[in-house]
Amino acid sequence: MRTPAPFRFALLASFITAPLAWAEDDRHYNIPAGPLSQALAEFAAQAGVTLPLDPTMVGGLQSPGMQGDVGTAQGFELLLRGTTLEAVPQAGNTYTLRPKPSSPALHLDSTNINGLHDVRQSAIGPLYGYKASHSSVGTKTDAPLRDIPQSIQVVPRQVLEDQQATSMADALSNVSSIQRGNTHGGSVESFIVRGFQGTTYAIDGVLTNSLTVRPEILTDLAGVERIEVLKGPASVLYGRGNPGGLINVVTRRPTLVPEAQVKLQAGSFDLQRGQAWVGGPLSAEHGLAGSLAMAYQTEGSYRDLYRDSHRRYFAPSLAWLPNDSTRLDMGLEYTETDAQYDRGLQVIGDRVDARHKVFLEEPWSHSSSDKTAAWFKLEHDLNDWLTLRQVTRWDHSTKSMLNVSQRTLQADGRTLVRRATDFDEEQRSLSAQFEAIARFATGGLNHQLLAGVETVKGKRSVTMLRANLAPLDIWNPVHGAQPGPFGFGEDSRFDQESYGLYLQDQIDLNEQWKLLLGVRWDQVSQRNRNYDRNGVPTDIDINPSDTSPRAGLVYQPAERLALYASYSTSFAPQNKLTRDGSVLDPETGTQYEVGAKYDIIPERLSATLSAFEIRRKNLAATDPLDSSYSIQTGEQRVRGVELDVSGEIQDGWNVIGNIAVLDAKLVKDTRLEEGNRLEGVPVVSGSLWSTYQLQDGALQGLGFGAGVFFAGKRYGDLANSYSAPGYGRLDMSVFYDIDEHVRVSLNARNVLDKDYIETIASAGNYAGEPASLVATISAGF
């Protein structure tokens, strides 16, 4: 419920001040019981101290009040009885609120401009621990996860810190039904979610370029606050997309309390990484704060003849709260990478070659990418019930590759036919969203209504040259071949404009029943222009439109339990042609899902159990009368059950785990056998990671972690012509908090040094990394 207007405080910008600065000596106070925000405001004014307050932290909480002669620190302690908050003294006669530490673990974040409390979490603020209670990815509003009728999993920053994760793949291994997908020669990370390949991510709720066929660049985690996964179709809020789910990266936000973190890492295969994050007030009086995230990483490989990879990351941001009704965020992000290009391991017969170190490229093959992004977000509360929001995001990326394409393995089982490719790609996109959120009641029902319009303009250009390259004996590889003369391969231009209108209503029918209804209409206008070797263009114009509905119902029979059922849809334009020259209709996805969300330990440990069926229809299939064209009869289906658990079992003991059982099949096709399993999807997969830190005694601050990650047999293509066996991997860690500011840790990956295939896909198969170690030292305040 929204905090009443007289006691509504802007996010860390409404400072409570008094003209006099009293000493810490006891004073007499008479603060009545009531709303916590009111009690704290009155006490701070009488005590003559400055206290920034966040409505998402204190809104809805009550204080028992306080009477008597007390000092300032004791007064705050009495007023905060019954909550998990504490007041911490800062420089300049200032106090800040934060959750009470549940353990002596390293706390590198203090109060964030978007709020933080375990009970009153913000959907975009930091999390303390492994359990998330709020998210915005499922509704574009700050909503409790238990009120959303769809499975949503969150990987908080503490999990990234405990596992010392440096990639999206490491982070998303903690979420059910996610497998690694096409990496485009190791230059990007893409994922299969609930059986279906994703092509892009969302950043702070805004999708990147809609024309991309894979993420533009590797995502650095230095500026990431959390990673969210909305399971199932999400077109009602995000437009075009894959039916398996949406990955949303939430970035770290500036603070009005000075804080910083520096981390240095060194590990196996010449890993060296340094990263820093700093935030604080630029003008606390005017509610202006800034932050800066930076990272540099260089890494070798266990593969033969492999060149080192490099990554550079830089991301400044600003937050401004000019008054108690207006919030402005803006930022810039730049990422640059260069690495060895590598299509991975060859398929021999019906299995992937198990010789993990064999390198089938040439030392000169490489990939270089860079991406620049800028964003602007403005929110304004017109009154107590209506909020307006405008978000603009601009992305620009380039990629250059000189690589080896592995063509076919000849009948002798050892001669690999290869080709050299010189590839250049440039992508641009500009997205703008205009939204209104209204909170009102009608007929005894409480509504939160979201109405929005989105416009997206995207461009993508691809040029490709190809050359002959000498074949390679995979059993006795001799490197050093140079490509022959390069000739024309491809010259393509893609331009797209899309428009979306969407409406969503979150309805509280009563305290136990909640209804979610939504619908979106999209119109896409796209031109694909392909030039032949003589420079003659051929155009394909695509102008689909589609309506994406969504409905869900939540029943909460007890405070700790929420049962739900939902229906959601997705769509994705296609560019394949039929024999009459028309473009195929968009692919569509439909999901039916039921589930339960349960707090195993209130405010500590939660679980989500879900069962679902997704059907992906209108897929392009080869025209049986002319293989140069397509017909629209393809269909795929995934049925599954998932269990995700995360949180704190007791003080210092954290856990995050999942298991999924998926039946992912090809249902209709003109060329492939119906019943074949979908590419890269195991029947059973999951993970379990847990850490424990000693809470007292001589070894207080010492902690241990361990986790197992597993997946069953997977096929590498829809024809099911080859496969990779299942695997299990054991990771371990040990860490020690020297004090509240400094932590040292040692993380071991694949402790048992198992050989396994981690990624299997028709575009490239990759082995999992052998046993490795990463040593880390972190310092922060």
Tens of pLDDT, residues 603-623: 899 999 999 999 999 888 777
Angle at CA of residue 333, ends 332 and 338, nearest 5°:
155
- Calculate mean pLDDT across residues 122-141: 85
Q: Using CA atoms, how far apart are residues 117 and 488, in angstroms rounded to an integer?
A: 58
- pLDDT averaged over every residue in the chain: 88
Residues of the chain with CATH 2.40.170.20: 269-780
Confidence bin at 55 (pLDDT 50/70/90): low
pLDDT over 90 percentage in the chain: 62
Could you please report the per-residue DSSP string of 710-727?
EE--EESSTT---EE--E
Give CA angle at 250 (387, 214), nearest 5°: 115
CA distances from 298 to 72, 310, 478, 491, 749 (A): 50, 4, 27, 33, 18
pLDDT of residue 637: 97
Tell me the mean pLDDT in the region 239-254: 91
- Of 20-24, 96-100, 130-134, 633-637, where does mean pLDDT reach its minimum? 20-24
DSSP 51-110: EE--HHHHTT-EE--EEEEE-HHHHHHHHTTTSSEEEEEETTTEEEEEEPPSSSS-----
Confidence (pTM): 0.84
Can you give the pLDDT at residue 200? Answer: 82
With a pLDDT cut of 70, the percent of the chain lying above it is 92
H or E stretch including 605? Answer: strand 605-622
Q: Average the pLDDT over each of 253-262, 376-385, 699-708 and give the range with the smallest value.
A: 253-262
Mean pLDDT confidence for 371-394: 95
The mean pLDDT of 51-67, rounded to a whole number, is: 72
457 HSE (CA, 13 A, CB side)? 4
Residue 705 has pLDDT above 50, yes or no: yes
Per residue in 18-34, pLDDT tens?
332 333 456 778 888 77
Is the pLDDT at 595 greater than 90? The verdict is yes
The residue that leads in pLDDT, 360 or 107, is: 360
Summarised one tens digit per residue, pLDDT across range 454-489 is 999 999 999 999 999 999 999 999 999 999 899 999
Tokens for 77, please give them.
Answer: 């302690």
Model confidence at 119, in pLDDT bands (50, 70, 90)? Answer: very low
* Among 550, 435, 530, 451, residue whose Cα is nearest residue 150: 550
Average of pLDDT values for 373-384? 94
Mean pLDDT of the region 701-706: 96
| Residue 448 confidence (pLDDT) above 90 | yes
pLDDT at 24: 42
What is the per-residue pLDDT across 714-728, written as a single tens digit (0 to 9) for each? Answer: 999 999 999 999 999
Q: How far apart are CA 413 and CA 409, in angstroms?
A: 6
Report pLDDT for 618.
87
| CA nearest neighbour of 253 among 289, 298, 211 | 289
Q: Chain centroid to CA 183: how far? A: 17
Beta strand ranges found along 324-412 (DSSP E): 326-340, 347-348, 351-352, 366-381, 386-409
121 falls in which pLDDT band (50, 70, 90)? low
Exposed e or buried b per residue across 548-558, where buried means at least 16 C-beta atoms within 10 angstroms of its C-beta: bebbbbbebee
The three-class DSSP label of residue 217 is coil
- Average the pLDDT over 384-392 and give the result: 95
CATH dotted code for 269-780: 2.40.170.20
Phi-psi region of 625 (alpha: psi -120 to 50; beta: other; left: phi over 0): alpha
**Which residues, in sequence order, are CB contacts of 636 under 8 Å at separation 6+?**
195, 196, 615, 616, 619, 664, 665, 666, 667, 678
Whether residue 313 has pLDDT greater than 60: yes
Q: How far is CA 128 from CA 174, 689, 738, in A?
A: 17, 17, 19
Strands (E), 651-720: 653-668, 684-693, 702-711, 714-715
What's the pLDDT at 101? 54
pLDDT of residue 116 exceeding 50: no
Q: How much is the CA Rg of the chain, to the nearest whole Å?
A: 27
- 462: tokens are 């691809």
What is the reported pLDDT for 59?
63
pLDDT band at 519 (very low <50, low <70, confident <90, very high): very high
Residues 6 or more apart whose Cβ sits within 8 Å of residue 132: 121, 145, 154, 156, 226, 646
pLDDT, position 15? 30
**Backbone torsions φ then ψ of 623, nearest 5 degrees:** -70, 120
Architecture of domain 5-99 in CATH?
3-Layer(bab) Sandwich (3.55)
State the pLDDT at residue 42: 82
Region 191-198 average pLDDT: 92
- Can you give the pLDDT at residue 21? 32
Distance separating alpha carbons of residues 232 and 612, to the nearest angstrom: 9
Which residue ranges does the chain devote to CATH 3.55.50.30?
5-99
User: Treating both helix axes as pointing N-terminal to C-terminal, what angle do 36-47 and 72-79 enclose, rounded to 10 degrees?
Assistant: 170
> What's the mean pLDDT in 117-142?
76
Number of C-beta neighbours around residue 32 at 10 A: 12
Question: Higher model confidence: residue 746 or residue 53?
Answer: 746
Count other Cβ atoms within 10 Å, centred on residue 35. 18
